[in-house]
Every structure is written in C-alpha cells, then in structure tokens.
Amino acid sequence: MTTSSELFERAKELIPGGVNSPVRAFRSVGGTPFFTKRANGATLTTADDRELIDFVCTWGPAIHGHNNEIIREAVAKALDSGTSFGTPNPYEITMAELIIEMVPSIEKVRMVNSGTEATMTAIRLARGYTQRNKIIKFEGCYHGHADSLLIKAGSGALTFGNPDSAGVPEGFARETIVLPFNDLGAVQDVFDTCGDDIAGIILEPYPANVGLIFPKDGYLQGLRDLCSKNGSVLIFDEVMTGFRVSAGGVQTKEGITPDLTTLGKIIGGGLPVGALGGKAEIMDHLAPEGPVYQAGTLSGNPLAMAAGIAALELLKDGTAYDRLDHLGVQVREAIQSAVNETGIPAQIPQVGSMFCLYFTDTPVKDLEDASNTDTERFNSYFHKCLDLGVYIPPSKYEGNFISTAHENASIARACEVFAEALRSM
C-alpha cells in the first residue's frame, strides 16, 4: 500500500505544493495531508486505509454524502450517451428549470464550470450592464480566484495570509473597493463619494470563507436599498450557501432579492459546475444575446447536468433540510456542552448544516474578529479530531458541512470526538 506520505512526496515533484487547490495542503494546520482513495456516504477512506467521518463534504457539494446512489445512477445513465456534445442538450433545460423554480430571484441562468467563473462573469455583467467600473466587495468574503476579486479575500487566500494575491495588477485592484463586512455606514460613505461609478456590490450573504459570520439585522436590506437607489447591481454569491441553508439559499431565508446570484458546488452533484442567474433584463446582456462576452467548452455538459439535476431533485421538496437543520443543531449543542464543561472560550455559529468553531470569547462579526481567534488552539483541535477519526476543514477560516448521509451513529461518534478533543486541550 502506498501511504499518503509517499503519495504526497511524489505529488510535490509534479504539482505545485503537491495539491490542485491550496487549502488541501494543510499548510495552516501543519502536518501532511492524507490522500483519499474512496468516499461513501459520510466516510472518507484514506490511502492509509483509515476511515474518517467527513465534515468537509468536498467543500460543500456533497450535501447528500459521497457517492450517492441516485446521483451515481444519473451520471451512469447520462454516460451511456456520451460525455460532452458541445451543442445544446436537453439536460441544460431541466437544470435551468430547476434553478429558476427553486431560486425565485432567478429569471434566467447561464451554466459555467466553477464558482470562480460564475463570480467573474457576474462582475463583468454588472460592469457591462451599468457601464460603470467599480465593484464593492467585503473583507474576508471569498468569491474564487478571479483577479478583481482576489483582494482581501477569504478561504485559502486568508489561510495563507495572502488575501491580496501576487500577480493582480494595481489597475485591476483599483477598481475593487474592499470594505469591512457588517458596516453599512462604510458602504453608504462610498456611495456618497462615487455612487455613480459603482457597478455593483458582491458578497457572500453569510460569509463562510472566514469561518461563518451572520449579517447584522438590516444589513442585507441596507445593501439592497443602496443598490436600488444608485442603479448598482446587487450580487449574492451563494456558491456555498445556495441550496445549502435552504432550497432558495440565504436570499429566501432572509427575504432579500438580489439582482444576480452566483451558484456552484451542490448544483454539480460533485462534478465541476457553476452558474450565474438573475433578472432577465440583466442576464440578456450576456452573449450571444448581448454585448457581455462569456463562454465555456464544457458549460452545461450532460454528465455534470445529470449529477446536478439529481442532487437538486433530492432537495426540491424541502424535507432534506428538516434533517440537515436537526443535525446541525445537535452538533452545535454537543460542542457547546463540551465548551461549557471545559470552560474553553469558543463561539459556534451554525445555520442548518453549516457550522464553524472559533476559539474566542467574543462573537465574530467580521474578518478582524475572525483573524483574532486562537489559531494555535484551532490547529491543535483539528489534529486531535483527525487522530480520533473525524475530518474537519484544515483551516479556522473554513466552514464545516453535514450531509443527509451522516447517520445518527456517525453524528454521535463525531460529537464524542469533538468533546474529547476539547477536553484534551
């Protein structure tokens, strides 16, 4: 058996950092990343033949667990007819109908191949539609690695302490205004000074690439009002939260209607997919209908569409969220109980099947608060959980996910592990 360590040494000779996405490298938490050779339900089987209860869920897509039989059969059926046609295909219509039905603010939708493509297109569309240049984003929000958005970003960029990536020309950065999250006055001030050049605002309505932060009461509505008043485009990046916190995402939970929404992860059922959707009047500015160009060789390919359609069909009646919400509360309460018992300062924000653990005694409302939480303590907690057979995200800035495949026994065992890890500190 080739161990994870041996595989990692070989991978580092061939792939930068040995990984195809930085956060997988365990750089923040230390140690050698494990390689996964199989995944089923809530369990990962590593190259070292360890079985781990998974709370990363491939960073969100696996809301039905890994290797879900219904999704697998849908992909197998599509595979019988080929993998990619490069022409329109009926699956794309079914996918578009599902997204439009489940996310009321979306009147038209364009499929792409990643969340990054979706957000990159959204800001180009906002600029093309408004004929303006400036985009407002928020510290700690991560929208993928498009140049204009990789500024004071969250997720892996934050984990490695380089929220402003090398290689982004000053000219690009100049058109992106970065503000603290949850500070509506700061946004008002920007509109007061250059409102007629603000193409749009893009945000994660529940920032989950900085742990998990909730908007203050009135904040999302305030952003909505400012965009409406100034003719700017409000973009909700729901790549992570879409179909995760509810069938209609945060916008449905909070009753806020964005102009554009970006999606990804869950809508691909584990295959590469992203999507951009919103008001038809704006979306029709996309080529070939309008002047804003966007394209993709594999956009809407039948395999990814079949997987995503199966994943969304399993969520459409909403009953999956009853279980996911219940499991999320159960896990949060179990961790809270252990926190109370040990007296360790910790915050456990949770919504539905998303949660995180901050080691701090004060609620986290923005990037600064998140950055001031105890990293060393988190890293120790991460490794203790991993040693005991539970895999949580290898960074304090990433959210945990639960799937419908997390059976009661797995949840019970994980709660024991979380408590034991806290007691060991």
Catalytic positions: 142, 237, 265
Q: Which of 33, 41, 65, 115 binds ligand KE4 (CB under 6 A)?
A: 115
Residue type (1 letter), 183: D
Contact 156, 22 (CB under 8 A): yes
Q: Which of 119, 251, 252, 347 binds ligand KE4 (CB under 6 A)?
A: 119
Structure tokens that stand for 196 in this block: 């007629």
Q: Which of 18, 33, 128, 144 binds ligand KE4 (CB under 6 A)?
A: 144
Contacts of 275 (CB under 8 A, 6+ apart): 99, 109, 110, 111, 112, 118, 262, 263, 264, 267
Cβ-based nearer residue to ligand KE4, 153 or 386: 153
Contact between 92 and ligand KE4 per CB under 6 A: no
Q: Please give the Cα distance from 391 to 406 (Å, whole number).
A: 13
Q: Which of 33, 61, 140, 156 binds ligand KE4 (CB under 6 A)?
A: 156
Q: Which of 23, 25, 178, 187 binds ligand KE4 (CB under 6 A)?
A: 23
- Least distance (Å) from ligand KE4 to the CB of residue 211? 11
Specify the stretch interacting with ligand KE4 by CB under 6 A; choose among 141-149, 212-220, 346-354, 416-424.
141-149
Cβ-based nearer residue to ligand KE4, 41 or 249: 249
Within 139-282, strands assigned E span 176-179, 198-203, 233-237, 260-264, 274-278
Contact between 398 and ligand KE4 per CB under 6 A: yes
- Least distance (Å) from ligand KE4 to the CB of residue 338? 25
Specify the stretch interacting with ligand KE4 by CB under 6 A; choose among 137-145, 162-170, 276-284, 285-293.
137-145
Contact between 155 and ligand KE4 per CB under 6 A: yes
**198-203 β-sheet, strand order:** 108-112, 274-278, 260-264, 233-237, 198-203, 134-138, 176-179
Alpha carbons within 13 A on the beta-carbon side of 350: 23
Q: Which residue is nearest to ligand KE4 (CB)?
A: 115
Specify the stretch interacting with ligand KE4 by CB under 6 A; choose among 111-119, 173-181, 213-221, 371-379.
111-119
Residues 262-291 that bind ligand KE4 (CB under 6 A): 264, 274
Contact between 308 and ligand KE4 per CB under 6 A: no
Q: Which of 54, 204, 366, 369 binds ligand KE4 (CB under 6 A)?
A: 204
Cβ-based nearer residue to ligand KE4, 41 or 264: 264
Contacts of 206 (CB under 8 A, 6+ apart): 212, 213, 214, 215, 241, 245, 250, 351, 354
Residue type (1 letter), 261: T
Cis before 288 (ω within 30):
yes
Contact 81, 301 (CB under 8 A): no
Contact 339, 425 (CB under 8 A): no
* Cα dihedral 211→37→114→66 (10° resolution): -70
- Least distance (Å) from ligand KE4 to the CB of residue 123? 12
Cβ-based nearer residue to ligand KE4, 191 or 403: 403
Q: Which of 4, 116, 246, 353 binds ligand KE4 (CB under 6 A)?
A: 116
**Could you tell me how many residues make up the chain?**
425
Cβ-based nearer residue to ligand KE4, 74 or 263: 263
Interface with ligand KE4 (CB under 6 A):
21, 23, 59, 114-116, 119, 142-144, 155-156, 204, 209, 237, 239-240, 264, 274, 398
